[in-house]
């Protein structure tokens, strides 16, 4: 295993700033979604969006705690929570998109597969099973791109803006993994987290526009 380059103070501050911005944006997004759906007579839509918001905040908070407080503890509980929360974020993002936009049997099956994979992955990370570390990123990407098997109903039921935001978010996450793996690159951690935050913003745009604001259209 390659030696990880020690993080400089400037890199630590840059990464911390991105995490602070991310948590602030996550809280703002959660409030916006709550306000948009406050009077909606659609409990299912409210529940699915709430699950999404909860998973978003879990991922942002766990990432901040680990990277700001315990980045050098590679086997500690905060690292395991951070990695497990990424699985929850993937499934949480799918929840309103597949449950509301795609809908029907296709959306239901997609959600069942993604949540089964995400919960299994999260349990594996929390249990700290050895030998699976190299498979983590490929599994993240595999779960994230499962939507290609439902691309036709996604295109049929989403707006052009929503589809572009979903696609852009997926591409940003995927390109970001290059920087996640590039451990010797200066400001590598901050760059990786900037990609994650940008992707999360894109997916929020899709959820807000095509789920929270599109009540009664699906």
Higher pLDDT, residue 180 or 7: 180
Q: How far is CA 112 from CA 46, 91, 99, 135, 159, in A?
A: 19, 9, 10, 21, 24
Q: Is the pLDDT of residue 1 over 50?
A: no
- Interval 190-210 mean pLDDT: 97
Q: Is the pLDDT of residue 6 over 90?
A: no
- pLDDT, one tens digit per residue, over 52-105 is 999 999 999 999 999 999 877 777 899 999 999 999 999 999 999 999 999 999
Grade residue 2 by pLDDT with cuts at 50, 70 and 90: very low
- pLDDT, one tens digit per residue, over 139-177 is 999 999 999 999 999 999 999 999 999 999 999 999 999
Dihedral angle computed from the Cα positions of residues 62, 54, 96 and 200, in that order, rounded to the nearest 10 degrees: -40
C-alpha to C-alpha distance for 97 and 107, rounded to whole angstroms: 8
For the annotated binding site for Zn(2+), the residues are 193
Q: Are 95 and 111 in contact (CB under 8 A)?
A: yes
- Interval 25-37 mean pLDDT: 97
**Least confidently predicted of 10-24, 37-51, 117-131, 196-210:** 117-131
Higher pLDDT, residue 72 or 215: 72
- Interval 31-35 mean pLDDT: 97
Q: Are 193 and 19 in contact (CB under 8 A)?
A: yes
Q: Is the pLDDT of residue 218 over 60?
A: no
For the annotated binding site, the residues are 193
Q: What pLDDT is recorded for position 4?
A: 62
Q: What pLDDT is recorded for position 132?
A: 67
C-alpha to C-alpha distance for 40 and 211, rounded to whole angstroms: 11
Share above pLDDT 90 across residues of the chain, in percent, rounded to a whole number:
81
The 3 state secondary structure assigned to 86-150 is HHHHHHHHHHHHHHHHHCHHHHHHHHHHHHHHHHHHHHHHHHCCCCCHHHHHHHHHHHHHHHHHH
- Interval 108-136 mean pLDDT: 87
pTM over 0.85: yes
- Interval 109-137 mean pLDDT: 87
| Short-list 158, 202, 207, CA closest to 34 | 207
| Short-list 124, 114, 40, CA closest to 80 | 124
Q: What pLDDT is recorded for position 216?
A: 47
Q: Determine the Cα angle at 139 with ends 101 and 145, to 5°.
A: 30
Grade residue 127 by pLDDT with cuts at 50, 70 and 90: confident
Mapped onto helix, strand or coil, the DSSP state of residue 188 is helix
Long-range pairs, 111-117, Cβ under 8 A, ≥24? 113/146, 114/90, 114/143, 114/146, 115/91, 117/87, 117/91, 117/142, 117/143
């Amino acid at each position: 295993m390659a030696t990880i380059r020690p993080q400089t103070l400037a890199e630590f501050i840059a990464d911390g700033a991105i995490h602070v911005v991310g948590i602030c944006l996550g809280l703002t997004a959660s409030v916006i979604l709550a306000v948009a759906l406050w009077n909606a007579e659609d409990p299912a839509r409210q529940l699915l969006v709430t699950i999404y918001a909860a998973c978003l905040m879990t991922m942002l908070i766990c990432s901040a705690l680990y990277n700001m407080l315990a980045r050098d503890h590679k086997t500690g509980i905060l690292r395991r929570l951070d990695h497990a929360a990424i699985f929850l974020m993937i499934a949480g993002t799918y929840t309103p998109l597949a449950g509301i936009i795609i809908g029907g049997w296709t959306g239901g099956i997609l959600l069942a597969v993604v949540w089964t994979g995400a919960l299994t992955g999260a349990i594996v990370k929390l249990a700290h099973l050895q030998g699976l570390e190299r498979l983590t990123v490929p599994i993240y990407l595999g779960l994230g791109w499962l939507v290609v098997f439902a691309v036709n109903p996604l295109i049929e039921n989403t707006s052009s803006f929503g589809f572009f935001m979903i696609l852009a978010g997926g591409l940003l996450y995927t390109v970001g993994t290059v920087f996640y793996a590039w451990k010797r690159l200066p400001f590598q951690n901050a760059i990786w987290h900037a990609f994650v935050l940008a992707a999360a913003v894109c997916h929020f745009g899709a959820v807000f526009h095509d789920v929270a604001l599109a009540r009664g259209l699906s």
